[in-house]
Amino acid sequence: MAEEALVSFVTEPTIFGGVEAGGTNTVCVVGSGQGDVADRLEFGTTTPEATIQGAVRFFAEGTGHRIAALGLAWFGPLEIRRGHSRYGVVGRTPKPGWEGADVVSPFREALGVPVAVDTDVAAAALAEGEWGAAQGLASHVYLTVGTGIGGGAIVDGFVLHGLGHPEMGHLPVVRADGDDFTGVCPFHGACLEGMASGPAIEGRWGRPAEDLGPEQAAEAADLVASYLAQGLRAVTYVVAPQRIVVGGGVARLPGFLAALRRHFAGSLAGYPGLSEHAADDFVSAARLGDMAGPLGGLVLARRALGQPGVLD
């Protein structure tokens, strides 16, 4: 018995848990935090109680693994300052029932392990930095264009935080010539998310991006790219990343990435004239797809336990 325990102690890697909670679905994974996934569960995001309980059940009894720490990649806005009395509490959101919900304490209490939380996009940025489109870079930004638009920045290997987390989807954008769409953001109307997110496409063309015919899809890709390029320019001029990684469903529109690079170059207008900005890989497609958030959750968990990885 004692010998068996010792062997197990020596050979088994530490196992972490990761959760990505999005507006539609919640994905739970377990893994060693080295890019692997040993088990996975996906279910619909509903109320805070049901969603958190579903995840707790998975980690407590639904997998053969015992996790050492948990990383939550949650939709924002939420309080991510460690030591803040509202750490892990969801902020002002239109998602019914979620404003004010504490997403950290229930996990801590039920699982008895360290729990770290950050935005879904910060987690995705971490994962793309470790195993995806920004591997080996110290500073990059991950932007996702889907139901919402959000971004996470990595600076010298760490998630960029300050008073809170970034809110890159709500950048101001200059209206495209002839575009009179009012925008779908409940706060700003015609901000980046208001003009270029999935719901903005649906508001303009009457159907989701994935149901558009080839002509409309090309038109949508170009228009959305022209707005997102302004966001890329703002991000480039504010944090000076080495690369911008773009993910999300809307980014999968045919021709989107090429249009984005073209509009981005036009928006920079040759300033400040760095050759790196003109290189094709400065604006790269995300590589980890839907697994970026959950894998990033594992990075958050690993870091919560002080276990270094590639970027630490």
Number of helices (H), then strands (E), in the chain: 10, 10
302 near its own copies, judged by CB under 8 A: no
Q: 307-312: long-range contacts at Cβ-Cβ below 8 A with a sequence spacing of 24 or more?
A: 307/14, 307/33, 309/33, 309/34, 309/130, 310/129, 310/130, 310/135, 311/126, 311/129, 311/130, 311/154, 311/157, 311/158, 312/157
**Residues of span 74-103 touching its own copies by CB under 8 A:** 76-77, 91-92
235 near its own copies, rule: CB under 8 A? yes
54, 241, 248, 296: residue in contact with its own copies (rule CB under 8 A):
241
Q: Which of 97, 164, 199, 203 binds its own copies (CB under 8 A)?
A: 164
Interface of this chain with its own copies, residues 166 to 195, rule: CB under 8 A: 166-175, 187-188
The CB-of-8 to its own copies minimum distance in angstroms stands at: 39
Task: Figure out which of the listed residues 105, 238, 254, 278 binds its own copies, where binding follows CB under 8 A.
Answer: 238
Amino acid at 233: R
Please report, for residues 16, 96, 202, 221, 294, the alpha-carbon distance to residue 150 in angstroms, rounded to integers and kept in the order given: 25, 19, 18, 18, 16
Closest distance between its own copies and the C-beta of residue 258, in Å? 21
**Residue 135 burial (C-beta neighbours within 10 Å; 0-12, 13-18, 19+):** middle
User: Rounded to an integer, what distance in angstroms lies between the CA atom of residue 265 and that of residue 251?
Assistant: 18
- Give whichever of 234 and 285 is closer to its own copies, judged by the CB atom: 234
Report, in Å, the least distance between residue 183 CB and its own copies. 12
- Binds its own copies by CB under 8 A, chosen from 13, 206, 270, 289: 270
Phi and psi at 153, nearest 5°, equal -115, 135
Asked whether position 199 contacts its own copies by CB under 8 A, the answer is: no
Burial of 250 from C-beta contacts in 10 A (0-12 / 13-18 / 19+): buried
Entry field: residues in the chain: 312
- In the list 45, 226, 230, 284, the residue contacting its own copies (rule: CB under 8 A) is 230
Q: Interacting stretch for its own copies, rule CB under 8 A, among 35-43, 60-68, 262-270, 299-307? A: 262-270
Determine which residue in the list 38, 50, 110, 155 makes contact with its own copies, applying CB under 8 A: 155
Residue ranges in contact with its own copies by CB under 8 A: 76-77, 91-92, 138-139, 151, 153, 155, 160-175, 187-188, 230, 233-242, 267, 269-274, 276-277
